[in-house]
Chains A and B, each alone.
Chain A
């Protein structure tokens, strides 16, 4: 059996720009981003040979038919993993192959469930790639409680490790050069977590590690997709994203050990006029508190094993706090993540057990984030995220000491 299924009804053999839309059972949603991608390509890249690609996981809900039925003025390709093979990263891997085979110069990827995408998103995510940039991440307004894994783990950790301020490292909507696609295809750090939800942070980290010029594209509109209450079940995403960060820390330690503080990236895409506010995200603080404390019964032994004695002692103090006075201090959170990263490297526990033990602590930190930013406007909450990142940078010598040479 072939390792991919390819449908190329218009016999496309080359392209300069590719828009990829990864999916799994998105029949009810994929038509909209497909149409917007087509409009973006025809309006903003009129002289360029372009193609829209649906990278699918053999959806059974008619995603492919919905993709081909959407209004679209540019050629389309459908590529899928074989039935039974799932994973967002596997979809990207097929896209990397296709980009290489088509000889494309620039690639834009947008989520299939996006409700707020406009044609300009394609322009702003794609145009910098025709300049000198190798990687483009999105910059959109998000509700302060949307993207809590980003705010509390992915952004502060990657920033303090690799020294590049990329605000949405797992934003889901990206641009990357054809050259970078080939690089991704051949990189030896590919693994099962990357093949799933670890793909976004893997791509961003590799772009930073290999010093590809990065820009953040300001997209004007908020990311509107299927929102999730941060207190809801984390599912495999948490394990795969955080596991990928820890895994890459091991591989790239000689690099990040030399990084001091952080540097900004360029910003691309202005003149969009009035920006739109994101929809609210409801948070169940009682559930976060309950999830944090439920971890004590299930994972206390793992915490004691994975955390440094001082970190564990401070965690015990946090466990004694009631909901009304609850606080999980930022420096403690940084030390928790650094300790767990070391424990992950040393395999003091099976990686999945370690991730399961970290999850309740993440709920605790998220609760603290929610309480600290309660009543804050978006800009104030953003400054709070910045404070958290600076605290991670301040705490980095602790990580260097724990990690060793």
Chain B
């Protein structure tokens, strides 16, 4: 069981991800915006962050840069309905990139991979 923080401005996505991931036994916190994310990370202490790229008022890629600079080793999975964002150099600071789908098989696989990644401390 892992703590998963979801940031997505679409309510139905947050609901879908929350239900499916809780069914897998994970503890989920779903946020509508990346604003004030650092405080949420500090409080929830997630094992992995699932971050939408295209959100109203804020770019997930910019949020990713903030997360990566403050939490160097916190796994982040980018999600987008658009595969084209994969071409943005900022996206390589993410652990994985997933194109949104109602089938969460790929997302769950990437979460497993991110959780399994290990570099000795």
Contact B121 A211 (CB under 8 A): yes
Shortest Cβ distance from A164 into B: residue: B119
Instruction: Tell me whether A258 and B120 are in contact in the complex, defined as CB-CB below 8 angstroms, given that A264-B94, A264-B95, A270-B90 are known contacts.
Output: yes
Q: What residues of chain B lie closer than 8 Å to A167, measured between beta carbons?
A: 92
Q: Is the CB of B116 within 8 A of A260?
A: yes
Contact string, B33-68, partner A, CB cutoff 8 A, digits 1/0?
000000000000000000000000000000001001
Instruction: Check if B113 is an interface residue, CB within 8 A of chain A.
Output: yes
List chain A residues, Cβ under 8 A from B118.
Answer: 163, 258-261
Q: Count of A residues near B, CB < 8 Å?
A: 24
State the total of A-B contacts with C-beta under 8 angstroms: 55
* Closest beta carbon of chain A to B73's beta carbon, Å: 6
Query: Mask for B88-120, Cβ within 8 A of A = 1, else 0?
Result: 011011110000000000000000010011111
Interface size on B, as a range, is 20 to 34
The reply to whether B120 and A255 form a contact with Cβ atoms under 8 Å apart is yes
Find out whether the CB atom of A261 lies under 8 angstroms from the CB atom of B117. yes
Residue of B86, B93, B117, B121 near A262 (CB, 8 A) is B117
B89 with A139: CB separation less than 8 A: yes
B116: which A residues are within 8 A, CB to CB? 260-261
A379 is an interface residue with CB less than 8 A from chain B: yes
A267 pairs with B89, CB closer than 8 A = yes
- Mark contacts of B66-81 with chain A using CB atoms, 8 A cut-off: 1 yes-contact digit, 0 otherwise: 0011001101000000
Nearest first, the 7 A-B pairs at minimum CB distance are A261-B117, A163-B119, A260-B118, A379-B87, A267-B93, A266-B68, A258-B120
* Sample of 18 more A-B contacts, CB < 8 Å, known A261-B113, A263-B117, A265-B93: A139-B92, A162-B119, A163-B117, A163-B119, A164-B119, A211-B119, A258-B120, A259-B118, A260-B118, A262-B117, A263-B73, A263-B95, A266-B72, A267-B65, A267-B90, A270-B90, A379-B86, A383-B86
29 chain-A/chain-B pairs, Cβ below 8 angstroms: A139-B92, A162-B119, A163-B118, A163-B119, A164-B119, A211-B119, A213-B72, A218-B89, A259-B118, A259-B120, A260-B117, A260-B118, A261-B116, A261-B118, A263-B73, A263-B75, A263-B95, A263-B119, A264-B68, A265-B93, A266-B68, A266-B69, A266-B72, A266-B93, A267-B68, A267-B89, A267-B92, A270-B65, A379-B86
- Chain B residues in the interface with A (C-beta under 8 A): 65, 68-69, 72-73, 75, 86-87, 89-90, 92-95, 113, 116-121
